[in-house]
Structure 1
Amino acid sequence: MTKVPVELLPHLRRARDVADRHYAEPLDLDALARAAGVSKYHFLRCFAAEYGETPMQYVSRRRIERAADLLRATNLTVTEVAGLVGYASLGAFTRRFTELVGTSPSAYQRSGLTARIPGCYVFMLGLKSAIPAKRSGPPAS
């Protein structure tokens, strides 16, 4: 296993932050390595050693997490959600979603019994402001 130099950790976090902020945009290894300021092969080895997954696995997981939020909270179609989180192919989105979540996106969406935000609001207000952020910690009383 690769030992990650301590001085590289802030650079890896910067690249991970870029992936978190721009998950819906086309991201590749070169762009993330540029954000970290190191060669793409060194970045790939160090990122995988530090976070336990490759940079592109991380981006894919973040996209699917966001898609799950959208499917649970909105009335958008699976195709619309796939496009919003950065997938150009519905088949690739469905395959990856099923791998990570254990059920298809449409079955996942049907299983939710919560009130949904109309898709027109999501498109009008943008993703970040329309979907409530996950809360951590104890619920407010």
Structure 2
Amino acid sequence: KRVARERVERVKEVLARDLVNPPTLEMIGQEVGCSPFYLSRSFSREVGLTIPQYLRNLRMERAAELLRTGRYNVTEAATEVGYSSLSHFSKAFCETIGCCPVLYPAAKNVIFDR
């Protein structure tokens, strides 16, 4: 159990290192020392999200931070977190954050239910 938790923490660190070009499941498995299948199962069990879902949340939280600064527009924030399609980014942002990215800076003081 402790080893699984430690691996999950290492996976989180690996994913946070590069949101634009995240490593594949195989690469993460090699880095943390287990098979991709085992890694997926243990990560989901510990975190309650799949690795892709967790990565998406990480990206959207980072994009929200960038938008809150007022120094990034939506397109720039999308690019910074690895989205080349603005429509895919907007859809993911709305689903994850609960507000469209264009409206987000104006609503930054509102606490959204997740």
Q: What TM-score, normalized to structure 2?
A: 0.84
Query: What is the rounded CA distance, in whole Å, between the counterparts of 2:35 and 2:108 in structure 1?
Result: 43
Conserved 8 A contact 1:11-1:35: no
Q: Which residue of 1 aligns with 2:112?
A: none
Q: Which runs of 5+ in 1 are unaligned?
A: 114-141
Q: Which residue of 1 aligns with 2:84?
A: 88
Q: What are the within-5 Å matches in structure 2 for residues 1-141 of structure 1?
A: 5-112=1-108
Conserved 8 A contact 2:15-2:22: no
Q: Which runs of 5+ in 2 are unaligned?
A: 110-114
Question: What number of residue pairs does the alignment pair up?
Answer: 109
Conserved 8 A contact 1:29-1:56: no
Q: 1:11 to 1:26 in 2, by over 3 A?
A: closer
Conserved 8 A contact 2:70-2:105: no
Question: Which protein is bigger by CA-based radius of gyration?
Answer: 1
Query: What is the rounded CA distance, in whole Å, between the counterparts of 1:30 and 1:94 in structure 2?
Result: 28
The percentage of aligned residue pairs carrying the same residue is 34
Cα drift, residue 76 of structure 1: 1.7
Q: 1:109 to 1:62 in 2, by over 3 A?
A: same
Q: What TM-score, normalized to structure 1?
A: 0.69
Alignment root-mean-square deviation, CA: 1.7
CA deviation string 1:12-59 (max 9, x = no partner): 211111112222323332222222211111100000001110111111
Cα drift, residue 8 of structure 1: 3.0
